[in-house]
Structure 1
Amino acid sequence: MRYTQEIRAVLVAALLAGTAGCQSVGEKSQATAAAVPGQRQPLAPDTLSPAAALPDSLRPTVLAPVPGLSDSLRREVAALHQALGPAAQALRPAVLERACVGYLTLRHAGRIRRPGVLAVADMDLPSTEKRLWVLNLKDRKVVHRSYVAHGRGSGWVRARRFSNRIKSACTALGFYRTADTYAGKHGLSRRLHGLDRGQNSNALDRYVVLHGADYAGPEYLRQHGQLGYSRGCPALPPEQYRAIINAVGEGACLLLSGPGLESKWLDGAVAARQLAARGWQ
């Protein structure tokens, strides 16, 4: 099979991209050896085919509307998206809709404590795009937008496999509550509580945290054509990770969105009642 020069470049970048750990203080070291030029890093079986790096595979999955969502709430989310301006243009409306419904439902249930702050990462987009947004819902502003790395078990340029399993090295989809900070091997880090049983509920045991990493920044992207990989953490650029970790704070809502996401927190009726009663607070 003959590849174009563009496709060949993507494949080479995927082979050269490094891996890194996401350990917390006190975790036993299970570091993966650094990438060797010309040697493929171990990935999940469904990402080993060269077709995984073809441009067609970078097209995001079409998402259906949240079932049971009222027209009024859908209009509110559309108005929010418009008010967020150019910084949110690449934030797909269907992803924002899911993030907002989950945020409102979790607020109604008392599972998140930081009002008006919503972080959402569209992990269905390739790692070459800035696919993480931190939103101020009250002021309708994008506080931060950045790159974010996915787990090495999830795929190459685009994450295609997700897992809650310990040692899977995969990104786990679902809603998270941000927790406390600590000084780890990557510096300032913020723990995450997975709120979707079976999908991300092992986050604490897997040491899935927000942290900074060189392989998640624009310089690494410039050199390798894509970001490197974490072991499941949503790793952030070294230039932005402190600001983002501080902006989300403790008790906020984070959604890692991707294909196949199912969540009991996507309850349109409860979200509508919460918005009517409390607004975005």
Structure 2
Amino acid sequence: MNKVLLTLTAVFFVTTSFYSPEVTTRKTEANLKARPSKSVLKAESKSITTSAEEIYTTIKFDNVNKLNPEVFYKAFLGFENLKKAGKLPAASHLLTVCDFSLSSTENRLWVIDLNEHKILFNSLVAHGKNTGEEFAQKFSNTESSYQSSLGFYITESTYNGNNGYSLKLLGMDSGYNDAALQRAIVMHGADYVSEDFIKSQHRIGRSWGCPAVPRALAEPIINSIKGKNCLFIYYPDNQYLSNSEWLKSEENI
């Protein structure tokens, strides 16, 4: 009987000796490495903040209106999230920002080259006629509302229409601007977006919801940002800012 027990013990020892604690430890470590920790995700989130700060602090705003750093950060965060989602090409480096919290008499549109840390354009830009007078106040995603729409857009192709050379915009924020193509919300030039109009009316003219720019700048701006680049129309609307999927940090996506 003792011989049988000794034989079984020996067999058990031999068969289990292949499953060493070292192998188990390696498997556990591999599984842990495969799953990013919360601290890693937070570090990635911080990297966007750091990148935004580095770019912003090196941009020269000489002779142009200075973009609010908080608005730039939000625009940059959405830009990065759109790239990660495959909505923008990996090589995309142009970011256009419209800050509709500012007076329409100010140059509140910026086209920024993120690679060169350079302002390419700083221009007047119109909001919709039912969005407000000098200042924007109301926004809509509804057809025939004649209001501007908040959020992130991806620039598409160009065409010549009733307003001349124009740029199609694809709204990326569901419920806020995703009806842009249906509403014919495009970037185009307009004579009412000018210093002369400001002198006579104390504001620029208003569009039917389009981010219209000065006639002389329409073609160079459109040609610079056409074809899968990012446009962000900002306003401190708490509901939009908390709901946009593009403004969520990585740990919340």
TM-score normalised by L of structure 2: 0.77
Q: Which residue does 2:71 correspond to in 1?
A: 95
Alpha-carbon distance in structure 2 between the residues aligned to 1:192 and 1:150: 15
Cross-structure match for 1:145:
122
Opposite residue 265 of structure 1, the aligned amino acid is W
Higher relative contact order (CA 8 A, sep 6+): 1
SS of residue paired to 2:122: strand
- Structure 2 equivalent of residue 85 of structure 1: 60
Q: Per residue, is there more helix in 1 or in 2?
A: 2
Quote the residue 2:185 is aligned against. Answer: 208
Pairing 1:266–2:241 present: no
Aligned equivalents of 1:193 and 1:237: distance in 2? Answer: 21
Q: Following the alignment from structure 1 to structure 2, what is the Cα–Cα distance between the partners of residues 89 and 123?
A: 14
What's the secondary structure of 1:129's corresponding residue?
A: coil
Q: What number of residue pairs does the alignment pair up?
A: 205
Shift of 1:79: 1.9
Aligned counterpart in structure 1 of residue 199 of structure 2, from 222, 242, 255:
222
Deviations along 1:108-146, whole A, 9 cap, x unmatched?
A: 111123610110100111101000000100111001110
Work out which of the residue numbers 160, 163, 179 in structure 1 matches 2:156: 179
Q: CA deviation at 1:219?
A: 2.1
Amino acid at match of 1:252: N
Kindly provide the amino acid, as one letter, of the partner of residue 248 in structure 2.
Answer: D
Opposite residue 95 of structure 1, the aligned amino acid is V
Write out the 4+ residue segments of structure 1 that deviate beyond 3 Å after TM superposition.
68-72
Give the counterpart letter for 2:99 in structure 1: D
- Cα distance between partner residues in 1 of 2:113 and 2:176: 26
SS at match of 1:265: helix
Q: CA deviation at 1:77?
A: 1.2
Structure 1 unpaired stretches of 5+? 1-67, 272-281
What is the CA–CA distance in structure 2 between the aligned matches of 1:76 and 1:174, rounded to whole Å? 21
Q: Return the alpha-carbon distance in structure 2 between the equivalents of residues 253 and 270 of structure 1.
A: 23
Q: How does 1:88-167 map to 2 (within 5 A)?
A: 90-113=66-89, 115-167=92-144
What root-mean-square deviation, in Å, do the aligned CA atoms of Structure 1 and Structure 2 show? 1.9
Determine the structure 1 residue equivalent to 2:38.
none
| Cα distance in 2 for residues equivalent to 1:107 and 1:199 | 20
Q: 1:243 aligns with which of 197, 209, 220?
A: 220
> In the superposition, relative to structure 1, how do residues 126 and 269 fare at CA in structure 2: closer, same or farther (>3 Å)?
same
Q: Give unpaired runs (5+ residues) of structure 2.
A: 1-41
**TM-score normalised by length of structure 1:** 0.69
Q: Say if 2:171 is the partner of 1:194.
A: yes
